[in-house]
Amino acid sequence: MLGDIDSGSPTRALTSPRHVRTVPRVRVLGIDPGTRVLGYGVVAQHGTHLRALSHGTISPGGAMALEQRLRLIHLGITQVIAAHAPEVVAIEGLFSHKNARSALVLGHARGVALLCAAQAGLSVFEYAPAEVKKAVGAGGRAEKDQVVAMVKRLLGIDRIDKADAADALALAVCHLNRRRFDARVRAAVEGGR
């Protein structure tokens, strides 16, 4: 049920070591929701180093009934949370969709992901697709292959089989970048008092 999982990838520093003390260790589960293919990625940050711990897809396919796909998505996300113990979840936020039915079905997958996070007691942070693409250096209107290439480069991963998994890793990186930025702003404000 769970797609290919790649773990133990080499790490790569994303910023200078001067911020090591301001950002403690954290694990983020990124989720790119979908009812046919849901991407997930777990990224750990220790100081300024980011490392992909796991990534893959949960792929119930389109042949089974929606409620059965949602059940399998719930089971898969629950297994990923149990295996990797993330502290927070980063998920793609709602965005305008040309097809109302597609948006509604996607909302079901998001709802299941939010439920899994709530059941595990995890905080959830939502990010717009353009913000996620910018966070990995791919630009706000980047195509999927550009996002895959940038995520592989940032996290030192040789192979990502599905763009959905790359999107999920990008969501986790986006959250960690935002977290690091917020910590610097807080430090600057507190230092200026």
Catalytic residues: 32, 92, 164
Are the CB atoms for 171 and 91 separated by under 8 Å?
Answer: yes
**DSSP-assigned letter for residue 140:** T
Secondary structure class of 16 (helix, strand, coil): coil
- Cα–Cα distance measured from residue 25 to residue 95, given in angstroms and rounded to the nearest whole number: 31
Secondary structure class of 120 (helix, strand, coil): coil
Neighbours of 107 (CB within 10 A): 14
Which amino acid, one-letter code, is at 47? Answer: G
- Cα–Cα distance measured from residue 15 to residue 193, given in angstroms and rounded to the nearest whole number: 26
H/E element holding 175?
helix 163-191
- Cα–Cα distance measured from residue 71 to residue 75, given in angstroms and rounded to the nearest whole number: 6
